[in-house]
Structure 1
Amino acid sequence: MKIYIMRHGEAENLAPTDAERALTERGRSDSISVAEAGVKKGFNDIDLALVSPYLRAQQTWQAISPLLQCAKQSTCEDITPYGESSDVFEYVSALCEVNKFDTVLLVSHLPLVGFLTSEFVPTIAPPMFTTSGLACIEFNPETRKGELLWHIHR
């Protein structure tokens, strides 16, 4: 199965709270460009998209979703910047086992996106994600190990 991990696009620096920081126009266009490059590599048919409740992640999803075929989208409170990667790994693994998903997308934040990548691919150190960065992991739910297939940077 494929696990896609995407960091939100570039966001404004100032907002009443971190959760309310909106995407910039560049963040929107970079996210679309990265998603388009991903589509050329097979990133287009998603069984489940889990999106952080933070505004910039929600707006990133809104920007890229027209490029994708997505069966189900859900806001996930556990994938904020302060999420626990091991908990998210267990949650996604259980969801995939029960629902037989073939593809899951997580739209999240630093530092979680790097730590999540290492949870799914335990042989690598957490990679750095630029804004709008997108990684594709081939994950084996039986062995609970994956391989990083590609990582697109803007």
Structure 2
Amino acid sequence: MNLILWRHAEAEDFAASDLARQLTARGRKQAQTVGKWLRARIDADALILVSPAVRTVQTAESLSDQYRVVREIAPDASADAVLAAAGWPNGIAQTVVIVGHQPTLGHVAARLLAHSGASWPVKKAGVWWFESRERAGDEQAVLRAAISPELI
């Protein structure tokens, strides 16, 4: 399984509610850049799961109009909730893209790579791409890519 964690792009600081915050002009550009990069690398049947926040929906729409809004990965979700939504490590699809938030995505990355409860920093619009594999009966997470829009 491929698990792609994609943090939403830059969003406005204030709105009527946290879930209503929209992408800034810079955020739209970041999302388009990363969306184009991802489209060239993932299969068309990748499953895209998105937090109900406007900024994550707007980020995901730069990749595809085929996505599912999943309340369980809203801001302040747990790493367990994200991994359960994706079906890690076997996957509910061969490739699952999670468009979500910090510090949750950082918790997921730290857990997968270091078995740590820490939250690693994930830049806005940044992507961390993991692949699950089994070695000697042990499930492992392999980091395939970690990239920010400035490097694309």
TM-score normalized with structure 1 length: 0.81
Aligned-partner Cα distance in 2 for 1:24–1:133: 16
**Does residue 132 in structure 1 map to residue 132 in structure 2?**
no
Q: Which residue number corresponds to residue 101 of structure 2?
A: 109
Task: Find the residue that maps to 2:75 and give its secondary structure.
Answer: coil
User: Which residues of structure 1 form unaligned runs of 5+?
Assistant: 67-71
The equivalent of 2:87 in structure 1 is 93
Q: TM-score, normalising length from structure 2?
A: 0.82
The residue correspondences of 1:15-26 to structure 2 (distance < 5 A) are 15-26=15-26
List aligned pairs for 1:59-78, cutoff 5 A.
59-65=58-64, 73-78=67-72
Residue 119 of structure 1, CA deviation = 3.1
The one-letter code of the counterpart of 2:121 is M
Give 1:151 shift: 0.8
Q: Which has the higher helix share?
A: 1
- Listed as ranges, the matches of 1:132-151 within 5 Å are 132-140=125-133, 143-151=138-146
State the match for 1:83 in structure 2: 77
Could you tell me the percent identity over the aligned residues?
26
Alignment of 1:121 onto 2:119: no
Indicate conservation of the 8 Å contact 1:139/1:146, yes or no. yes
Specify every segment of 5 or more residues in structure 2 that has no aligned partner in the other structure, as ranges.
Answer: none
- 1:81 is paired with a residue of what secondary structure? coil
Q: 1-side partners of 2:127 and 2:108: how far apart?
A: 12
| Cα gap change, 1:104 to 1:17, in 2 (>3 Å) | same
Alignment-derived partner of residue 53 in structure 1: 52
- Secondary structure (helix, strand or coil) at the match of 1:106 reads strand
Match of 2:9 in 1: 9
Deviates more, 1:104-113 or 1:139-148: 139-148
